[in-house]
């Protein structure tokens, strides 16, 4: 209860949810003794794959007996997910006390909720100066609250695509501007660039970071992976190759994220990551709401023996890689869709060419989401499209046959509602 009250107060300190600037976070952190200067971090920027790449790194680092702190956003089920210290989520009491300390230091100054959370993370992380911090950027990076570190171990650039265009100038809403916002202010250390959707994006990244003095590591130039038979994949870089077991997480895009995580950790030689740490870590990766199969709970009971997945993808690039996984399955696929109002709904669904049915729903507790009925009307090109008010009604309405799968997707907020409901 105490945590909820503090969160509610902090959310009202600024009239906007997002207000891109570094001034407020810098001023607050100065009052706190500049805790961001006392930590060692790996920064993760990009459009898709940030969370999954972090989870892969975390799993491997744990196997190497290294302590980590992790900062991610948004949360799926609870705000505690954003605050991991010594490999454990912060409990309600400790998080409430931490946020209260930040609230007092801020002294009621206008500041966004994300900036408050970021300052809180930096302060707590500074208590563990030997830990490795895995820090996910929020919106873009150049004016993101996480971008006030003075130095870091590495910057990881995951796949970049079109998203959050409404935060860019009307005449500059393109991938080139997104690349600039995400990569132009990366610190000088090591830059690891994940697989991108096309050569033009890679070339644009190279152009943007050309004056950056970092050691630069690119997928397919400095590291790569290939899928092998018998449930193995093969990773290779300048330090040699590793035959690795297929992880429990699904989709080839997860292998891309895992490979980027491996490339990052092997580049940082001081961490002393061994092949055995990687092999064991790969098998223990978990990723919430990223092609996550629901294997138990009340929603699983509704689908009985059929497979039920939830995925938080919400932009065209996410849709593309998600559909690639669906196309690899020899069965009929049914999609339950809920999205935020500011997304390109038609573009997102244009990637799903071969689905048996589409059911739109309302996202509970999200006033900025598009209503399911309106979403259905926008997507009327689909032959078998329906609307249901609730997640449960949507699942029950789908006429699944043997081996069919149901996928709930379109928003991380929807994914959170699914997991909390289950």
What pLDDT digit, counting tens, does each position of 172-200 carry?
777 888 899 899 999 999 999 999 989 99
Domain segments of the chain as ranges: 2-282, 292-421
Dihedral over Cα of 141, 313, 13, 92: its sign: negative
In 3D space, the residue among 102, 113, 107, 112 whose CA is nearest the CA of residue 35 turns out to be 102
Q: Rounded to an integer, what distance in angstroms lies between the CA atom of residue 36 and that of residue 29? A: 8
pLDDT above 90 for 245: yes
The CATH number assigned to the domain with range 292-421 reads 3.90.190.20
Report the candidate in 202, 213, 194, 10 with the shortest Cα–Cα distance to residue 106: 10
CA 61 to chain centre: 19
The model's pLDDT over 312-326, given as tens digits with 9 standing for 90+, comes to 999 988 899 999 999
Kindly report the pTM of this predicted structure.
Answer: 0.93
Greater pLDDT, 400 or 339: 339
Measure CA 314 to chain center: 11
Q: pLDDT-derived band of residue 297, with 50, 70 and 90 as boundaries?
A: very high
Taking the C-alpha atoms of residue 360 and residue 348, their distance in angstroms, rounded to an integer, is 13
* 3-state helix, strand and coil shares in percent for the chain, rounded to the nearest 5: 40, 20, 40
Place of tokens 């399955």: 329
Using DSSP, state whether 83 is helix, strand or coil. Answer: coil
Tens digit of pLDDT for each residue in 40-72?
999 999 999 999 999 999 999 999 999 999 999
341-387 tens-digit pLDDT = 989 999 999 999 889 999 999 998 899 999 999 999 999 888 899 99
Strand order in 405-409's β-sheet?
292-293, 307-310, 405-409, 333-337, 357-360, 385-387
pLDDT at position 398 over 80: yes
**Level-2 CATH architecture, domain 2-282:** 3-Layer(aba) Sandwich (3.40)
């Amino acid at each position: 209860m105490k945590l909820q009250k503090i969160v509610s107060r902090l959310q009202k300190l600024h009239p906007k949810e997002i207000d891109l600037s570094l001034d407020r976070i810098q001023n607050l952190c100065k009052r706190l003794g500049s805790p961001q200067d006392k930590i060692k971090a790996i920064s993760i920027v990009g459009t898709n794959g940030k969370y999954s790449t972090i989870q892969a790194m975390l799993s491997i680092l744990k196997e190497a007996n290294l302590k980590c702190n992790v900062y991610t956003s948004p949360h799926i089920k609870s705000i505690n997910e954003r605050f991991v210290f010594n490999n454990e989520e912060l409990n309600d009491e400790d998080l409430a006390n931490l946020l209260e300390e930040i609230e007092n230091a801020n002294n009621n100054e206008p500041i966004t909720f994300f900036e408050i959370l970021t300052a809180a993370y930096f302060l707590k992380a500074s208590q563990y100066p030997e830990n490795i911090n895995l820090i996910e950027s929020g919106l873009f990076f150049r004016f993101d609250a996480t971008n006030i570190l003075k130095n870091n171990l590495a910057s990881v650039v995951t796949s970049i695509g079109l998203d959050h265009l409404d935060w860019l100038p009307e005449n500059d809403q393109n991938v080139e501007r997104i690349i600039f916002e995400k990569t132009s202010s990366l610190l000088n250390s090591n830059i690891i660039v994940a697989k991108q959707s096309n050569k033009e994006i890679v070339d644009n990244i190279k152009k943007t970071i050309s004056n950056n003095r970092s050691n630069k590591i690119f997928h397919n130039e400095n590291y790569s992976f290939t899928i092998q038979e018998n449930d193995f994949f093969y990773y290779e870089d300048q330090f040699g190759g590793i035959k690795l077991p297929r992880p429990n997480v699904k989709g080839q895009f997860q292998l891309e994220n895992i490979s980027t995580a491996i490339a990052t950790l092997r580049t940082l030689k001081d961490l002393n990551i061994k092949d055995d740490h990687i092999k064991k870590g790969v098998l223990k990766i978990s990723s919430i709401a990223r092609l996550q199969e629901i294997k138990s709970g009340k929603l699983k009971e509704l689908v009985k023996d059929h497979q039920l997945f939830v995925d938080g993808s919400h932009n065209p690039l996410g849709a593309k890689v998600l559909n690639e996984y669906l196309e690899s399955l020899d069965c009929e696929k049914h999609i339950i869709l809920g999205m935020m109002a500011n997304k390109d709904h038609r573009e997102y669904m244009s990637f799903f060419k071969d689905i048996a049915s589409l059911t739109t729903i309302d996202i509970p507790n999200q006033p900025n989401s598009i209503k399911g009925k309106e979403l259905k009307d926008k997507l009327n090109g689909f032959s078998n499209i329906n609307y249901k008010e609730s997640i449960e009604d949507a699942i029950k309405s789908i006429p699944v046959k043997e081996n069919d799968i149901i996928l709930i997707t379109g928003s991380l907020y929807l994914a959170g509602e699914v997991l909390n409901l289950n």
